[in-house]
Amino acid sequence: MTRRTLLAAVVAAALSVTACAGDDGAAHSDDAVQLLVFGAPEELAAYRTLAGAYEKTHPDSRVQLVEASDRTDLITRLSTSVAGGQPPDVFLMNYRFYGQFAAKDAIEPLDERLGSSGVIKPADFYPAAMDAFQWRGRQLCMPQNVSSLAAYYNKDLFARYGVPEPAAPGTTCWPPRPR
């Protein structure tokens, strides 16, 4: 599955269960599902396409895409909207930043919705990805993607220039520190 396909599936599913919804999960005054996102221009274009596709397959629904300029703007908009009592229905955020909202009970738990969903099955996700979005035993958000970092290097170039090779993953920093 490509990253774009995974993104499409997760955002569509998130709209179906209102993942990372505000306390009441209610639609805003114009009855649109409000989706707060940020990303590169290509990602924002993909979100627009997904919102349009969702509306096409759900003719009684409308998605209002709120595009933040960067991560800081997204967190500021989310913080302000939560404090003002008008959070978006759905937002996308890295798990490292959602804890401040979880700690304030600003995110509606998804456990009941997931249990009754015919679209999303938690078992279809990597357990570590699901665990990252659990707070106090409740599933608060759904993972959008999972990534791993890998570093490749040319051993021949290291040998040619007399540079020590990196140690096994997770055991040292690169570049090596002088001894």
pLDDT at position 65, please? 92
Say if residues 74 and 36 touch (Cβ distance below 8 Å).
yes
CATH number assigned to the domain with residue range 3-139, chosen from the 4 options 3.30.470.20, 3.40.190.10, 3.60.110.10, 1.20.1730.10: 3.40.190.10
Cβ neighbourhood burial of 22 (10 Å; 0-12, 13-18, 19+) = buried
Per-residue pLDDT of 2-32, as tens digits, reads 444 444 445 555 554 444 444 444 434 468 9
**C-alpha span between 32 and 63 (Å, rounded):** 5
The 10 Å CB-count burial string (b at 16+, else e) for 29-41 is eeebbbbbbbbee
What pLDDT score was predicted for residue 179?
43
Residues of the chain with pLDDT under 50: 1-9, 16-29, 171-174, 176-179
For the chain, the domains span 3-139
pTM: 0.66
What is the reported pLDDT for 167?
Answer: 73
- pLDDT, residue 30, reads 66
Q: b/e map of 91-104 (b: 16 or more CB within 10 Å)?
A: bbbebeebeebbee
Residue 154 is predicted with a pLDDT of 86
Which pLDDT value is given to residue 144? Answer: 83
What confidence score (pLDDT) does residue 174 get?
47
Res 134: pLDDT? 93
The structure tokens listed for 122 are: 């938690």
